Chain A
Amino acid sequence: AQSVTQLGSHVSVSEGALVLLRCNYSSSVPPYLFWYVQYPNQGLQLLLKYTTGATLVKGINGFEAEFKKSETSFHLTKPSAHMSDAAEYFCAVSEGGYSTLTFGKGTMLLVSP
């Protein structure tokens, strides 16, 4: 069975600081990994995804994530936070085929001036 753990329900950073949101997964087969963002009162929007190939994945709004198989991790980073990055972020895993997505519990990113 697949599962996702997001470390930290809330992460606070200052504007301009590095953003690091942690995601660890478990999967019995090579996983497909996703990061979604949810702005207040909106649905989820895809930030980036890893399916196969290059392990460093670049997404929208300057975010990127690196798939590390040995660490079963897929942490999300951004070099410099903007106020507009304040939102809730969800990591998700799938085992492919007709497997469904399993989501983590989410991490709320707070950005202070």
Chain B
Amino acid sequence: DVKVTQSSRYLVKRTGEKVFLECVQDMDHENMFWYRQDPGLGLRLIYFSYDVKMKEKGDIPEGYSVSREKKERFSLILESASTNQTSMYLCASSSHNALAGGTDTQYFGPGTRLTVL
């Protein structure tokens, strides 16, 4: 089974701190994604990566950055945490399946609930 793990289930940080959220997948997937989930807003894409050292902005990249130095690991960085970044953060990965038109199932981690005080 595909496994996507996230470094913390719950995290509490203070305003202005630098925050690192780590995500690791064990299925040699090319694609990795970071979302935030807020009540009534669904999932919104922050950043994604199709390959090592590659990154693309999603719908809401402001205030975030990412790093992908190894294929299995994708990190989300909050350079200076703010209270409006309090949210559930979900990581996902997928392979690039040409037979499915290049879109394959995304597999999700359990999420990190971040609170910024």
C-alpha spacing A51/B105, complex, angstroms: 10
Within 38-67 of B, Cβ neighbours of A (below 8 Å) are at: 40-45, 48, 50, 58
In the complex, which of the residues A51, A96, A97, A101 has the most CB atoms of chain B within 10 Å of its own CB atom? A101
Contacts of B45 in A (CB 8 A): 100-101
Whether the Cβ atoms of A96 and B101 lie closer than 8 Å is yes
Residue of B40, B41, B58, B102 contacting most chain A CB atoms (<10 Å): B102
**Do the beta carbons of A104 and B42 come within 8 Å of each other?**
yes
Bound together, the chains give a CA A55 to CA B41 distance in angstroms of: 28
Query: In chain A between 82 and 113, which residues have their CB closer than 8 angstroms to a CB of chain B?
Result: 90, 94, 96-101, 103-106
Interface of chain B residues 96 through 114 with chain A (CB within 8 A) = 96, 100-103, 105-111
Count of B interface residues, CB-CB < 8 Å: 25
Assembly CA distance A106 to B100 (angstroms): 25
Q: What does DSSP make chain A's interface, helix, strand, loop or mixed?
A: loop
Residues of B within 8 A of A34 (CB): 105
- Count of CB-CB pairs between chains A and B under 8 Å: 59
A9 adjacent to chain B (CB < 8 Å): yes
B90 located at the interface, meaning its Cβ lies under 8 Å from any Cβ of chain A in the complex: yes
| Shortest Cβ distance from residue B115 to the other chain A in the assembled complex, whole angstroms | 15
> Are A90 and B43 in contact, CB atoms less than 8 angstroms apart?
yes
Residue among A43, A52, A100 making CB contact with B4, cutoff 8 Å: A43
| B33 close to A (CB within 8 Å) | yes
Whether A105 lies near B42 (C-beta < 8 A) is: yes
Do the beta carbons of B108 and A43 come within 8 Å of each other? Answer: yes
Known contacts A43-B90, A90-B42, A90-B43: A98-B101 contact under CB 8 Å? no
Contacts of A101 in B (CB 8 A): 45, 106
Residues 69-106 of B, flagged 1 when their CB comes within 8 A of A and 0 if not, give 00000000000000000000010100010001111011
B4: which A residues are within 8 A, CB to CB? 43
Contact B102 A97 (CB under 8 A): yes
Check B109–A97 contact: CB distance below 8 A: no
Residues in A neighbouring B43, C-beta threshold 8 A = 44, 90, 103
Question: Chain A: residues with CB nearer than 8 A to chain B?
Answer: 9, 32, 34, 36, 41-46, 49, 51-52, 90, 94, 96-101, 103-106
14 contacts between A and B (CB under 8 A): A32-B100, A36-B108, A41-B110, A44-B92, A46-B106, A46-B107, A94-B103, A98-B96, A98-B102, A100-B33, A100-B48, A100-B58, A101-B106, A103-B44
